[in-house]
Chains A and B, each alone.
Chain A
Amino acid sequence: MTRPAKRRLRLAAGVPGVNHWTVWGAPGAGSQIDFSTFEHVARTAERGFFDYFFLAEGLRVREHKGLIHELDVAGRPDNFSVLAAVAAVTDHIGLVGTASATFNEPYDLARRIASLDHLSGGRAGWNIVTSSDAFTGANFRRGGYLAYPDRYRRAAEFVELSRLLWDSWDGDRPGHYRFDGDFFDTEGWFPVAPGPQGHPVLVQAGDSGDGRDFAVGTADVVFSRHGEPEAGRAFRTDIRARAAAAGRDPESILVIPAVSVVLGDTEAEAQERARETQFAQVTPQTAIHLLEQVWGTDLSAFDPEGQVPAPPEAGEQLTQGQARRVDDPQAAARAWHAEAVEREWSIRELIVAKTTRHEFVGTPSQIAERLDDAAQTGAADGYVLSGSVVPHGIDEFVDRVVPLLQERGVLRTTYEHPTLRENLGLGDRPWVHGVEREEIAS
């Protein structure tokens, strides 16, 4: 009797960066910008048979109370430039870069990504994000030109035009393309022949209803913040239902949330390390900063180890250049305050409880079991791991958990295919909305 095949766990590795989860003061914390950091993380992930290496993006240095935010890591490279260099020092791992569909133009970005697909032998991926705020727009020619409701409409057209460009060659020469849409009216020839994947793997992280629909209409992989198994299961079920409703095979879209894993020789030791990391992530200064973000008012006079003050009637938005931490800050502030009073939390304890999270804490064998379980029970198709320290954050996971995942038969023991899409188990042809696979293949 053969057992039913196990669902494979996909793994991706990020480089922790511009947020308070990155513990830049930890022993061994290295450069956030030198190439050696990116090389180390990518090669470590490849040694651990991860599916892809992933880089996030932010196009303006964050500000708080009108001043540049000093407490978190800042400074990052251009993603697709670094990924082209990483392609030269790796052989198998996928290379996924985040790029804005708001502050780029399709011809330019599609060319860069297609070039990466060639240089990497078919390992390129694009995490599509949108942004419409004037704060970020102030770094670009058109400023904050895009109305909020139009951001996914432009992104959808951006992807449609990019796919047209990637498909535009006629044999071994460029073919003429023409696109006439609401946001783009362009024509000409595209210089890059289709790469090994034809279209790179598309990743999307929409969380709102519109965002989820956009993901289902566009992406191969959905990146999410729903890393807890229960929340993850609900999110994945929703994505798959939306896919089915849109006439798409749910198996053609993967849900891969970001999670934090903390290991220890014993469960108690892992819990202790997790707690230490959380307090390292929330320094006294960061505790005040994050409380100010949610309270919407200056709290610099308060003691981070002291009592949590009552939130004001109406706060302001003090932080720019960062997605909101909570959807409704005033409601969140009231709820957080009530909980802090009830539990007798200090400001710092409250912020630790509310803004830091380690989804998987335990011994290597416990973690391997839970990750396996998450994959088998539909909590996720895989996870993005970053660790909290650059560049060695995932080393321990690769050394200690990866062999156990391989033993359990949920992680590859060799890269079976040359391309990222095939290694993800998504076949050798791109999924394109409204187009049958056979049509593309012919």
Chain B
Amino acid sequence: MSDHLVLAVALDGAGWHPAAWRDAGIAPGTVFRPEYWVDQVRQAEAAGADFVTFEDALSVAGPERPGRLHGRLDALQIANFVARRTSRIGLVPTTSVLETEPFHASTQLATLDYTSEGRAGWKVQATRPGESANFGRRNIVFDIARLGTPEGQEQLRRLFDEAAEFVAVVRQLWDSWEDDAVIRDAATGRFLDREKLHHIRFEGSAFNVSGPSITPRPPQGQPLVTALAHQEIPYRLAARSADVVFVTPFGEEDAARIVATVRDIEKEDRTEAEPLRILADLVVALDASPSAASDRLDAWDALDGEPYRSDADIVAASAGELADRIEALRASGIDGVRLRPASVHLDLPAIGEQLVPELRRRGLLPAAPATGPLRERLGLDRPANRYAA
């Protein structure tokens, strides 16, 4: 575990409250402007965050719901663009894995690690509603109401097993070139040493992949793998495959229970050498007082026409109170937080101007943010190559 709290910021649209964009007074097309994303990530970088995540989906949620911001750019594309306009912060795009190719995902994320010079991460997402219809290869119907039934759990288990295979292939492909595979040996005329490239010959229940990758091993060796999880089956995916799991505790007791559950699953399923880093997701609205913050959210609910609900705890508070909450989570065994700003225009600046100085005062964050490869910020070494002799 790292000595300090891990601080991440989750970027999505104009913020996580669906009326935030209307309050900000931005045009719907603003999310397609590159400067909009550069500005957000630079703010998070200036605030000292270790990394930002970018949400994504291969579908559009509630496309016909009026009053909402609907569009988005591809998260990997944003991350690559922003990589060249920032210098320190980690960049963690989300990709869905049930309709896409692990081979492409592997080269895309490895490339982000090259363009960002060692700052790439990946938020693995199984799927989102409506994705399979956009691909037409199979029909995945997620019925939330059936999720708790034995059949629902069985379906979920199958899909997450496939997601775990996907991540396994991506990781193997990252290692399919040893670091010193390029030799440029004039005497023998060889650019490569073929002994240092490896066919992965993965054979799974959903697909087979031969390898090796077409992209040499990325600068970090293995870019940081993360996943959001709310229950046992996704915890298991994270324990098998990820470096970081985002969890959604409601209060410190819930956090302690989740940490215990994740650590138990880890004992059974973990194959990576390092323990999972557990980060708590919080939706945050920061204001001078808790009542000002919750009044703001109420007003936005009215603007949107329905109360905003989230899978994560919604904290409407002052910076001091949020720092208290984070300190309590930390005491429950949480390694860090991923903050989902309710709005980009108000809460992202508040994280930098109010919350981070408070966390530094309490010694939870270092005086100056860490630099270097993203993995290192989480206390993870550059891993040995699994194929190296």
Q: A residues engaging B (CB < 8 A)? A: 24-25, 29, 32-35, 58-61, 67-78, 80-82, 84-85, 87-89, 103-105, 107-108, 111-112, 115-116, 118-119, 121, 138-141, 143, 169, 172-174, 176, 184-193, 195, 283-286
Contact = CB atoms under 8 A, between A and B. Distances in A.
A75 B108 contact: no
Interface residues of B, number: 69
B188 to A, nearest CB: 7
Given A111-B74, A138-B209, A187 B111 contact: no
A92 B74 CA distance: 22
Given A68-B194, A82-B111, A60 B214 contact: yes
The 10 closest A-B pairs by CB, nearest first: A285-B189, A84-B80, A88-B84, A85-B115, A138-B210, A81-B111, A189-B60, A115-B77, A115-B74, A68-B194
A139 B82 CA distance: 29
Given A24-B191, A88-B84, A118 B34 contact: yes
A111 B215 contact: no
Contact of B63 (A77, A173, A193): A173
A186 B58 CA distance: 13
A118 B197 contact: no
B134 A186 contact: yes
B193 A70 contact: yes
B136 interface: yes
B80 A59 contact: no
B190 A35 contact: no
A77 B193 contact: no
Contact of A140 (B59, B209, B214): B209
Given A88-B81, A112-B77, A188-B134, A77 B104 contact: no
B215 A78 contact: yes
Nearest to A89: B84
B366 interface: no
Interface of B: 27-29, 32-34, 57-60, 63-64, 70-74, 76-78, 80-85, 99-101, 103-104, 107-108, 110-112, 114-115, 117, 130, 133-137, 177, 181-182, 184, 186, 188-194, 197, 206-216
A106 B257 CA distance: 43
Contacts of B208: 138, 143
B101 A140 contact: yes
Nearest to B189: A285
A140 B103 contact: yes
Contacts of B189: 71, 283-286
Contact of A174 (B70, B99, B215): B70
Contacts of B188: 285
11 contacts: A25-B186, A61-B197, A67-B194, A73-B191, A80-B77, A81-B80, A107-B99, A108-B99, A119-B81, A172-B27, A172-B29
Given A111-B74, A119-B34, A77 B184 contact: no
B59 A75 contact: no
B101 A191 contact: no
B210 A139 contact: yes
A72 B133 CA distance: 42
Contacts of A60: 210, 214
Contact of A76 (B32, B81, B85, B215): B215
Nearest to A33: B216
Contact of A70 (B34, B194, B214): B194
Contact of B77 (A72, A81, A188): A81
A439 to B, nearest CB: 24
Contact of A81 (B115, B186, B207): B115
A250 to B, nearest CB: 34
A138 B214 CA distance: 13
Contacts of B136: 184-186
Contact of A84 (B77, B211, B215): B77
A173 to B, nearest CB: 5
Contacts of A119: 34, 73, 77-78, 81
A59 B72 contact: no
A284 B104 CA distance: 35
B71 A174 contact: yes
A97 to B, nearest CB: 11
Given A81-B108, A139-B209, A70 B190 contact: yes
Nearest to A285: B189
Contacts of B28: 172-173
A67 B134 CA distance: 38
A131 to B, nearest CB: 13
Contacts of B130: 188-189
A80 B117 CA distance: 17
A121 B206 CA distance: 39
A169 B197 CA distance: 45
A73 B181 CA distance: 11
Contacts of B72: 191-192
A88 B193 CA distance: 34
Nearest to B32: A118
B214 A75 contact: yes
B190 A285 contact: yes
A60 B107 CA distance: 12
B114 A35 contact: yes
B321 to A, nearest CB: 36
Contact of A72 (B32, B81, B191, B214): B191
Contact of B133 (A32, A173, A188): A188
B91 to A, nearest CB: 11
Contacts of B213: 61
Contacts of B70: 173-174, 189, 191
Contacts of A68: 192, 194, 197, 212
Contact of B215 (A77, A85, A140): A77
B74 A107 contact: no
